[in-house]
Amino acid sequence: MYDYFGISGVDLSSLTDAFVGADGHFSYPRLDVDSAKVPIPGWNGTMRWIEAFSVVPPAETIFTMDMENDTSTFEEAVCGIRNLTDSVKTVFFGFPLYYMDSVQARQVVQKVMDDFEEPVLIEEKKISENTQLIRLIENYPNLFSQKISINYHIGRNTRVSVKVFNIAGQLVSVLYDDWKKPGVYIDIWNGRTSTNSEAANGIYFIRLQSGDESIMRKIVKIR
């Protein structure tokens, strides 16, 4: 942490510290929490347990905390850091980028790649729902403990597969793999693997696929 990220110490905000966003530095854009993605209803659209860093030069602060309560001891604490030297190029966040505004998050990723001198254009593929063959309907919340419903729409007769993968990209379970007629469908994942063992808690991905068209959604299994 010290040598590669330029971090000499880490502190963690508590349940009483409501994180609403992060102010950018060195041309990094501001990031706001996407209230629709916050996993705990009682948090009221804000986030908790954000890491605050002590910075070791030549590492630089790229994000500081914006707390709902400006008197919080974590207000303006460092929560994003970059270390760009001849031998290492790293960026580290003290907050989960997934729960931030998606447009702002893409801008941040683009800025990171610019810092790494490997520019990448990040685009969203937009497909009209009138011509879209398959559509995975957003589930909310995406956290579950025992089972979760996977809702999706099929535009015409086609072979469809619905599969679960872990964060390493390994196949965990096949929910469906056969032909379907046009319509709206629901598949249930019971949180178990293809061998019927209990899947570990953590992040998983649902992939809906037909031919060359594929859509993925992230879900989180908790106790």
Residues 5-36 have pLDDT tens digits of 999 999 999 999 999 999 999 999 999 999 98
Residues 185-199 have pLDDT tens digits of 999 999 999 999 999
Residue boundaries of the structural domains of the chain:
7-115, 134-221
User: In this predicted structure, what is the pLDDT of residue 183?
Assistant: 87
Q: What is the pTM of this model?
A: 0.57
pLDDT band at 141 (very low <50, low <70, confident <90, very high): low
Distance CA 66, CA 30 (A): 10
Distance CA 217, CA 206 (A): 5
Structure tokens belonging to residue 164: 């679960």
H or E segment and range at residue 89:
strand 89-93
Of the spans 35-44, 76-85, 119-128, which averages the highest pLDDT? 76-85
Distance CA 7, CA 80 (A): 10
pLDDT band at 139 (very low <50, low <70, confident <90, very high): low
Least confident span in 75-89, 111-125, 159-173: 111-125
CATH number, span 134-221: 2.60.40.1930
